[in-house]
Structure 1
Amino acid sequence: MLNLDFTHKTTQATPRLHAVATEFLRVSNDVAELHKLSSKLTSDPYLFVEFVKTIRGFLSVQTALGLSGEIDTVFLQVIKGWFPDLITETFSFLIVVRIINLFNKRANSKVYPDILRRIGNNALYLTRNPLRGICLVEKAINVRDPDCTVFIALKLHSHYVELSFEELGSNIVEKLLSVGESGICGV
């Protein structure tokens, strides 16, 4: 059983969050119960977003991810719907990265491109977040998926000069230019 006592205060102020966190602790070893609880949590996307913004929620969801494909799919659906809200928060960002890696390892050919498309679609917004957003855009470019890279390049094309003056933004511009030079896509 996962010991999350030290995170108790992160959800204590909000009774709904605290109740969900306590329930996660109670069922942390039972995959069937975790699936039910995951479905219950994601049925209220606002609650899910608030939950994964806390360290207790992050650790609970992180523990549940990877236990079964059904649980991962439940979380994926809410992540796809609330992508911009989740991607810029510290703990929920890590959940998104974890689920991307899980579906990539499973070679789920439909899910991974969909997530990459969401990153591409939100590329300009993500580059405004110097740590998490830029990291995710770089990760998407490094995948070397031509469609995703072109999509990112098109979303950012009128912002290259502005990005090149930012420390981390210049990395994105360099990566896009190097991808274009290598002939992987017509950037």
Structure 2
Amino acid sequence: MKVVRNKYGSRRVQKLFGISDDVDAFFYAAILRRFFHIITDNYASYVAIRAMVVFDQVKGHALYDHVLHHALDIYIASNQYGCIALNKFITDADDPFYRNLLLEVVGRNAPCLSNDPSENFVVQHVLKLHDLLCRLNVAVRLRGHCVDLSFKKYGSYIVEKLLEAEESMAVVVLEFLECDGDRLMRLARNEFGNFVVFKAIRVTQEMSRVDPFWGLVHKLMPFLHLLRRSRGINIVNILLIKNNILQTSWSRLFKLPS
């Protein structure tokens, strides 16, 4: 541990992997014995990541089993360096079975992961992978939590990512439409939430989701005067444009012949 926790020691140990079966077996046993301490250390974690790539399939699968065990029971993701290592494991997993298991673990635990300063980066990471099943799993698990998350710095990043795909966007927008108008207004004025609400309005328009788009517009229009004096000024601009378009359309529709 003293060697692999050192920047240069970590690099030198990694270079020894793959030289012979005996050497790999020695390090494999050492990694498993101190797995949690290795995976949650800045430099030592790269030893485990490298071992996953170099070791044979049997040893690699055993390491994945340890990742799954600790991800479930101790949450590697709650540690700053463990979070980085877990993201790397998910990205580099060459076995679809273990990759899907890791994605399922993250999706199932999305609510608690999303509220942690370190763990939320794991949720953000899996959403960037554009895995439809994982995205839907995260969205379903976060249903009912999207408004609360949007008030928080890191939580708002996750909700914004959910808004980037039509399948998960519907979950977020529906929750916004179902919450009290006063609460949505406070979210639109919030330093983090205003970006989420603005994005919800923009993506529903871009995806041609007419009913959700106008639902958000009409829900926020009564609070226009409050939004003007807040961080929600970006939302005000789009509301005014759409309101003017709507009024013009109605005036033309009911214009009497001269």
TM value normalised by structure 2: 0.53
CA distance in 1, matches of 2:101, 2:109: 12
User: Percent of counterpart pairs with the same letter?
Assistant: 17
Tell me the residue number matched to 2:253: none
Letter of the aligned partner of 1:156 in structure 2? L
How many corresponding residue pairs?
163
Tell me the residue number matched to 2:37: 50
CA distance in 1, matches of 2:125, 2:50: 23
Tell me the residue number matched to 1:169: 155
Alignment of 1:38-187 (within 5 A): 38-39=28-29, 41-42=31-32, 44=33, 47-70=34-57, 71-84=59-72, 85-103=75-93, 106=94, 108-130=95-117, 132-179=118-165, 182-183=166-167, 187=171
CA distance in 2, matches of 1:31, 1:124: 44
Tell me the residue number matched to 1:7: 6
CA distance in 1, matches of 2:115, 2:15: 38
Cα deviations by residue, 1:165-186 (Å, 9 ceiling, x for unpaired): 112211211222332xx24786
Contact (CA 8 Å) 1:126, 1:137: kept in 2 or not? yes
CA distance in 2, matches of 1:139, 1:96: 10
CA distance in 2, matches of 1:26, 1:111: 23
Specify the SS of the correspondent of 1:61. helix
CA distance in 1, matches of 2:169, 2:153: 25
1:115: how far off?
1.1
**Aligned CA-pair RMSD:** 3.2
Letter of the aligned partner of 1:74 in structure 2? A
Larger radius of gyration: 2
Change (3 A) 1:67 1:88: same
